[in-house]
Amino acid sequence: MRRFVCHEGSNTVMSENVHRQFLSLLGWEGEELEAFLPQWKRAAKFLCLSDKDVAYAVNEYLPTYWSLSLKGIRMMAAACIKEIVELSKTAQYIGAGDSVMYINIPSAPVCIYANKLAGKGRLHVSYPGYMMVMIRGAFFNKGAGCYGNAVNGHCAHCKMNSIRANAIADGKLPPPTITWNWGIKCGEAPKTDELIACLGGTRWKNTFITLPHDAPLGDVEADDRKRIDFLAEKLRMAQRDVSDATGIEVTEEHLQKALEEYMHYMDLVEQLSDPVMNADPQPVTVNEMTLFGTCVDMCFDIGYSYLNHVLEIFLDEVRERVAQGIGALPKNAPKMFCQFNSLYAPWIDKAFRENGVCLTQGRMFPFAHIFREYLNEKDVYTTVARMSLATPSSMNMMDEARIYADLLNRYHADGALYGFYAFDKWVGAVQKTMVRLIEAKTGVPHFYLEGDLWDSDKKSEGDRMTIIRSICNCLKISKI
């Protein structure tokens, strides 16, 4: 691979070559590459990425943390790049008279994608905070701080939410037609939009879903009929707000089509999880697993059809690796569930692997076959309500502990790793108590790693290595 050494102020030809090499690395070629190149360069500027940042990704970061020899990995990374390019074109879409909806994660993607289908190209959906943080962290080793300090200067907010607020305040991210905030798991997102308005930002229409975490401990919330019906009605009300803002009607047909495509995606994710998590050695890394689980609780503007095609390609590659006995670590290496999504800080997985422990994913679930049990509900909103209430972090602590215990019983693991949500008043608080329940239920040792998932470059690998080595030594001793 040809190495590019870029400095700020490099000439135009060198800049073009760096970005062309980046796209080529992810599978673009020929006329398609040349047509996409200007769009990507604008998106890189939108992400505050310099030529030097892109050269670092090409020369070091991507080859170090991603198995680029696998076509599925290259195509999924390219899908993420296509999605951030769509976000960077928001002003262009608004100028053309299209509607734009911003959403935060975790959401119910069926409802969002139904709007995309109903819009027939006139409505664009985006998860700006997540996409900016994910692309910068997973592919460029950059944190959340690049869009000014409008929010951070007033109070400590979740970096994924504040990067969106700062980008709007900084003028880099245009105000949308409407924001659909999902406060079921993230109470911060609705408050962020409120803060933007308080700081004098541009006002726009906003709808939100909230659900108090007041269910009795141990209640299986996906089976609680009153809770299901309450959430389903809130979904219907929110959709009316969205349609009023966009002028686009979402019908039962759109909802059913969105559900069909989403369930196909979830089926493929489950099919990926089984061979990866049961195989010894594990054929791919936890980062690569989570990359394909990106749209479990969100959707891309580019659509599920493309993602499903990519997943099918990657599944074939994973099965081939399992058949050949190719693994991220040698056979019999200790395996540890990773409850948080290490995608945004890929160095974490590499640090564990270098110390002889293979991380595997515990956040891709619940299983598609469980979701399929809810498809006979009276309408899609009720189905989606049950799906939401069956998803970790949206239910009471003992219900969530039950789900993770079931995972540990279904897939063998020598340990489980939690953490990196220290900033989160809901997930961060629940984690430290919940792990004791799961550990007592399963006998699997649990460990905790302090950190901020959305701003992980503030704490380097070196700051965590002593803890990581200690955890790995514990697991390796237990295997003797």
Q: In what order do the strands lie in the sheet with 123-126?
A: 123-126, 99-103, 178-183, 205-210
The top-scoring range by mean pLDDT among 81-90, 126-135, 269-278, 462-471 is: 81-90
- Confidence check: pLDDT of 429 > 80: no
Among the listed residues 141, 169, 171, the one whose alpha carbon sits nearest the alpha carbon of residue 153: 169
Give pLDDT, residue 191: 78
Token code pair at residue 456: 């992980």
User: Could you give the dihedral angle defined by the CA atoms of residues 7, 12, 14 and 18, in that order, rounded to the nearest 10 degrees?
Assistant: 90
Which element (helix H / strand E) includes 330? none
- Interval 347-370 mean pLDDT: 85
DSSP 59: I
With cut-offs at 50, 70 and 90, classify the pLDDT of residue 31.
Answer: very high
Token code pair at residue 404: 């993770």
Using DSSP's 3-state secondary structure scheme, residue 358 falls into strand
Q: Which of 131-140, 157-166, 271-280 bottoms out in mean pLDDT, i.e. has the lowest?
A: 157-166
Q: Which residue type occupies 242?
A: V
Q: Which of 171-175, 332-336, 382-386, 414-418 bottoms out in mean pLDDT, i.e. has the lowest?
A: 171-175
pLDDT for 188-201, tens place per residue? Answer: 777 777 777 776 65
* Helix segments in 325-377, DSSP class H: 347-354, 368-372
- Interval 243-250 mean pLDDT: 97
Which element (helix H / strand E) includes 270? helix 252-278
pLDDT for 370-398, tens place per residue? Answer: 899 999 999 999 999 999 999 887 888 89
- Confidence check: pLDDT of 162 > 70: yes
Q: Cα(399)–Cα(405) distance, rounded to whole angstroms?
A: 10
Q: Cα(140)–Cα(160) distance, rounded to whole angstroms?
A: 16
Give pLDDT, residue 4: 43
Q: Cα(131)–Cα(129) distance, rounded to whole angstroms?
A: 6
Among the listed residues 256, 247, 202, 295, the one whose alpha carbon sits nearest the alpha carbon of residue 382: 256
- Confidence check: pLDDT of 12 > 70: no
- Interval 332-337 mean pLDDT: 93
Q: Cα(405)–Cα(60) distance, rounded to whole angstroms?
A: 38
Give pLDDT, residue 224: 95
Which element (helix H / strand E) includes 144? none
Q: Cα(402)–Cα(218) distance, rounded to whole angstroms?
A: 8
Q: Cα(419)–Cα(432) distance, rounded to whole angstroms?
A: 8
Taking a C-beta distance cutoff of 8 angstroms, is the pair 417, 471 a contact?
yes
Beta bridge partners of 360: 337
183 against 55, higher pLDDT: 55
Torsions phi, psi of 27, nearest 5? 110, -5
Token code pair at residue 355: 């110390």
Torsions phi, psi of 61, nearest 5? -70, -50
- Interval 50-55 mean pLDDT: 95
Binning the chain into helix, strand and coil, the percentages to the nearest 5 are 60, 10, 35
Give pLDDT, residue 194: 78
- Interval 266-278 mean pLDDT: 91
Mean pLDDT rounded to a whole number for the chain = 88
Which element (helix H / strand E) includes 152? none
Give pLDDT, residue 362: 66
Give pLDDT, residue 14: 59
Q: Cα(280)–Cα(99) distance, rounded to whole angstroms?
A: 48
- Confidence check: pLDDT of 10 > 50: no
Give pLDDT, residue 3: 52
Percent of the chain with pLDDT over 90: 59
Token code pair at residue 26: 């992810």
Q: Which of 74-88, 140-154, 298-312 bottoms out in mean pLDDT, i.e. has the lowest?
A: 140-154
DSSP 393: T
pLDDT for 441-463, tens place per residue? Answer: 999 999 988 877 776 555 556 66
pLDDT for 135-154, tens place per residue? Answer: 998 999 887 666 656 555 54
Q: Cα(75)–Cα(28) distance, rounded to whole angstroms?
A: 9
